[in-house]
Amino acid sequence: MTWSSTSPLRIAVVGSGPAGVFACDALLTWADKNEQEVVVDLFDTLPVPFGLLRHGVAPDHPRIKGIANNLWEIGQDPRIRFLGNVHFGTDITLDDVRRHHHAVIFATGALADRTMGIPGEDLTGAYGAAEFVTWYDGHPDAHPEWNLTAKRAAVVGVGNVALDIARMLVRTPEQLEATDIPEHVRTGFGATAARTVSVIGRRGPAWAKFTTLELREMEKVEGVTVVVEPSDLDDDDPAARSHRESDRRAGQIHAVLQKWAEHQAEAGHTTADDAEAAALAAGQKVVRFRFNRAPVEILGSADSSSADSGSPGAADSPSGHVTGLRLERTEPDGTGLRMTGETEDLPVDAVYSAVGYRSAALEGVPFDDASATIPNESGRVLDAPDGQPIPGLFTAGWIKRGPSGVIGTNRSCASESVTELLADLEAGLLPDPESPDPQSVRDLLESRGVAVVDGPAWAAIDAREKSVGEAAGRERTKLSGRDEMLEVGFAARTSS
């Protein structure tokens, strides 16, 4: 595919997470193959790139470093201009990016929490997954404190994020010593009091969304015993059995859970309650899986003395504090599940909802509130769900397809969107920008007083994090917040 113009193709990518960076990579690959010039402005609200990879993945995942290194290498290409600390909708608008670029790719991800829609979600000690994840991952805008004094916690959800949260709740500061978490987070984990963490799934394990690798990591945490109720394994459910036979991952997950249940039986524990009690008596922490249970209410008390977990750095909720989670047993009905009416109250001091992330609407960009995505067809932005394409606007990643897949899924997702963009380019459907000069964007932001973190400033932040980490014997230690990042970045820019 070639393009007849002699001027560079100007593309704006809004969001520098995996989807945004992979979109940049696809554009560079096209440019190299076709000997075309391209200049990509990679905008982000944060002062640093990589989005979910940096601020949404548990820090005890060393294998993520390989992906981070890949994104870093892509980002070092001089044809990509990182412009961080730029807020889309205020610092720069949709009209602005369209005036300076041939096309725009929106890849802002999803980092708001979906709610469970049950009573009690406003209680102190009831949290969304994103709140906790962004805290322990050192998000620049996260509150610096988190209350970890809950001895009993429930995590609602059976995806990888739920497993990350459960695993982090039973971690010790010593086990996190080699990770890149900021020092204030490392200190915060010194107050970890969790003894039992229950992972709650509405359906049986055959329908769990976590990966086998993530599940197996749970048993590798020192000082932790994994507990499974054998009756939760759905061995008598024909639909679950058929799904396990046709879905390799579901079969592997069942095998891991069954192995843990068999170990309990071999130790003489006939029920999960027996296994949990024995582990706690032996000084172990417990992560317990509870399937076929739907949360129907978070229970609370207005008596502050009953609370073991307060809200992170905020005043206590006037509604009270979490004291329990009411669960209703479910059972398969052939195609899904039915509520049985049988309830149980699980005593807990904190509830973490990990039932999915939700994207936020962007100023001036069509948004489908029902799916929390930008309406699109293969990445082409539509003016409404089932509407018509808007020339020059594209989307990629979670805001395109919803919060699904793993990090690598974003590569194919971004590639699809860029393919559509290039097809429109070849067909002459992309609008010509009024001010394509790359410097015009920087001039615009400077005229508005925007403190842009550019490539050199980002490099200075990266170098400082590595320096602080190496001094403590680890690869990196994240800086503690936006102000510190800006101070380091701008000091380097001023001195250069």
Question: Does residue 162 sit in the same domain as residue 193?
Answer: yes
Above 80 in pLDDT, residue 308? no
The arithmetic mean of pLDDT across residues 134-138, rounded, is 94
Q: What is the CATH number of the domain that holds 419?
A: 3.40.50.720
Above 90 in pLDDT, residue 433? yes
Judge whether 496 lies within some domain. no
- Quick one: DSSP state of residue 17? S
Dump pLDDT digits (tens) for 405-431.
Answer: 888 899 999 999 999 999 999 999 999
The arithmetic mean of pLDDT across residues 285-299, rounded, is 97
Judge whether 50 lies within some domain. yes
Question: Does residue 22 sit in the same domain as residue 40?
Answer: yes
Residue 409: strand, helix, or coil: helix
pTM over 0.85: yes
Mean of pLDDT over the chain: 91
Dump pLDDT digits (tens) for 383-394.
Answer: 999 999 999 999
The arithmetic mean of pLDDT across residues 320-327, rounded, is 96
Question: Does residue 99 sit in the same domain as residue 13?
Answer: yes
Per cent of the chain over pLDDT 90 is: 82
Judge whether 476 lies within some domain. no
Above 50 in pLDDT, residue 10? yes
Taking alpha carbons only, the member of 214, 166, 155, 225 closest to residue 192 is 166
Question: Does residue 383 sit in the same domain as residue 253?
Answer: no
Question: Does residue 352 sit in the same domain as residue 363?
Answer: no
Question: Does residue 330 sit in the same domain as residue 207?
Answer: yes
Query: How far apart are alpha carbons 56 and 51 in whole angstroms?
Result: 7
Q: How many CB atoms lie within 10 A of CB 13?
A: 31
Above 60 in pLDDT, residue 451? yes
The arithmetic mean of pLDDT across residues 317-340, rounded, is 88
pLDDT of residue 71: 82
Rounded to 10 degrees, what is the CA torsion of 416, 422, 428, 429?
Answer: 30
pLDDT of residue 5: 62
Question: Does residue 125 sit in the same domain as residue 100?
Answer: no
Dump pLDDT digits (tens) for 334-367.
Answer: 777 899 999 999 999 999 999 999 999 999 999 9
pLDDT of residue 264: 95
pLDDT of residue 492: 67
Above 70 in pLDDT, residue 63? no
| pLDDT bracket for residue 286 (50, 70, 90) | very high
| pLDDT bracket for residue 310 (50, 70, 90) | very low
pLDDT of residue 57: 82
Above 90 in pLDDT, residue 76? no
pLDDT of residue 132: 96
Q: Which domain holds residue 446?
A: 9-110+359-452
pLDDT of residue 70: 79
Please, what's the b/e burial string for 180-218 (b: 16 or more CB within 10 A of its CB; e: otherwise)?
bbbeebbebbeebebbbbbbbbbbbbbbbbbbbebbebb
Question: Does residue 255 sit in the same domain as residue 385?
Answer: no
pLDDT of residue 3: 58
Q: Count of domains in the chain?
A: 2
Question: Does residue 408 sit in the same domain as residue 380?
Answer: yes
Poorest-pLDDT segment among 43-57, 236-250, 482-496: 482-496
pLDDT of residue 373: 97
The arithmetic mean of pLDDT across residues 72-85, rounded, is 91
Question: Does residue 199 sit in the same domain as residue 217?
Answer: yes
| pLDDT bracket for residue 495 (50, 70, 90) | low
Taking alpha carbons only, the member of 47, 17, 32, 21 closest to residue 9 is 32
The arithmetic mean of pLDDT across residues 206-230, rounded, is 94
* Segment of 173-177, 233-237, 340-344, 401-405 carrying the highest mean pLDDT: 340-344
Question: Does residue 300 sit in the same domain as residue 433?
Answer: no
Above 60 in pLDDT, residue 313? no
The residue among 234 and 139 whose pLDDT is bigger is 139
Query: How far apart are alpha carbons 454 and 433 in whole angstroms?
Result: 23
pLDDT of residue 95: 97
The residue among 258 and 70 whose pLDDT is bigger is 258
For 419, the enclosing helix (H) or strand (E) is helix 409-426
Number of H helices and E strands in the chain, helices first, is 16, 18
